Amino acid sequence: MEAGRVTSFIAFLFIAAAVLYSIRVAKTRMPSIRKIAGLDAIEEAVGRATETGKPLFYTTGTADITGSYGANIFAGLEILGHTSRIVARNNADMIVGISLPNVYPLALQMVEQGYLYAGKREYFKPDSIQFLSSTQFAYASGCMGIIQREQAAATLMMGHFKAEAILLAEASAQVGAISIAGMTSMAQLPFLIAACDYTLIGDELLVAGAYLAQNPVKMGSIAGQDWAKLLGFILIAVGSVMVTAGSAWLKDLLSL
C-alpha cells in the first residue's frame, strides 16, 4: 500500500468534520474574522471615484478560470460583484479590464447583478466591461492606457498577475489613484505591497467573498479550514521537536 494513504484519509475525515461542524455553528453564531483593511477600503475607493467624478478601474489579471489560479479569479469576480453594487449605489463609474475570453462573460454577469442588486439595472453599461487582449503585455498596455486616459480615481487589481503587476501599480500611482491589490503569488506580492495602498496577501484574497457577504456557510467553512491548519501547525511543531530529539515515531505514524 502507498505510504501515507491511511493518514491522508483520516486527515480528510477530520477536515470534513471540522468544516461541517463549523458551518452548523455559524448558522447560530457567526465566527469572527479579523478586519482586512484592503476589503474595508473598497468603500473609500468608490467614494473617491464618486467625489472626483472619475472612474474606478477594476481588473482580475491574466489567469484563466480553468487553470491552477482559477480560485484567485473567482475570488476576484466575487469582489467585483461587491464593488459593482457600491458603484451603482453611489452613481459612480467603473471600467473593467479583462484579459481572457472565459472570464469576460462572468465579469459581465457579476457587474450586471451588482447593479440589479442595487436596484439600478437601467444604469448598467455593458461596454464598461472591456476585453483587452489575451497577450500579457498587450493586456497590460490596455490597462495602463485606460488608467492614464481616464485618470482613474481608484484601481482594484484582484486575481492573478505576473510581470505586469508592477506596471499597473505604477500607472495607478502616476495618476494619484487609490490602489488595492490582491493575489496569492509570492513572486509578485512584494512589488504590490511596495507600490499599492492596500494589498490582500494570500488567503485574504480567497476569503474575500465570505468576508464581504457574511454568509454563514462560507464563514463556517473558513473556520473549519482554520482548525485543520491549526492541526497541521501542531503536527509540524511536534514532529520537528521529536525528530530533533531522535524519535521517528510521529514520522512513522504519518507514513501509514
| Residue 103 shares a structural domain with residue 204 | yes
The reported pLDDT for the residue numbered 165 is 94
The reported pLDDT for the residue numbered 135 is 95
Q: Distance (Å, rounded) from C-alpha 251 to C-alpha 256?
A: 9
| Residue 131 shares a structural domain with residue 194 | yes
Q: Distance (Å, rounded) from C-alpha 170 to C-alpha 166?
A: 6
| Residue 104 shares a structural domain with residue 154 | yes
| Residue 195 shares a structural domain with residue 228 | no
SS (H, E, C) 188-208: CHHHHHHHCCEEEECHHHHCH
| Residue 53 shares a structural domain with residue 101 | yes
CATH code where residue 91 lies = 3.40.50.720
111-146: b (≥16 Cβ within 10 Å) or e = bbbbbeebeeeeebeeebbbbbbeeeeebbbbbbeb
| Residue 21 shares a structural domain with residue 137 | no
Q: Which residue type occupies 60?
A: T
| Residue 135 shares a structural domain with residue 232 | no
Cα–Cα distances (Å) from 137 to 10, 48, 56, 144, in that order, read: 46, 28, 21, 10
Sheet architecture: strand order including 56-61: 129-131, 94-98, 56-61, 154-160, 178-183, 198-201
Q: Distance (Å, rounded) from C-alpha 211 to C-alpha 136?
A: 30
Using the 8-state DSSP alphabet, how is residue 30 labeled?
A: P
| Residue 26 shares a structural domain with residue 55 | no
- Global pTM reads 0.88
The reported pLDDT for the residue numbered 141 is 97
| Residue 136 shares a structural domain with residue 172 | yes
- 97 with 53: CB under 8 angstroms? no
- 90 with 136: CB under 8 angstroms? no
Looking at the chain, the number of H-run helices and the number of E-run strands are 11, 6
| Residue 45 shares a structural domain with residue 19 | no
| Residue 159 shares a structural domain with residue 229 | no
Mean pLDDT for each 10-residue chunk of the chain (256 residues)? Answer: 77 89 87 88 95 96 92 95 96 96 96 94 94 96 97 97 95 96 93 95 90 86 88 89 85 76
| Residue 72 shares a structural domain with residue 171 | yes
Q: Distance (Å, rounded) from C-alpha 59 to C-alpha 248?
A: 49
Q: Which domain holds residue 222?
A: 5-30+217-254
Domain count, the chain: 2
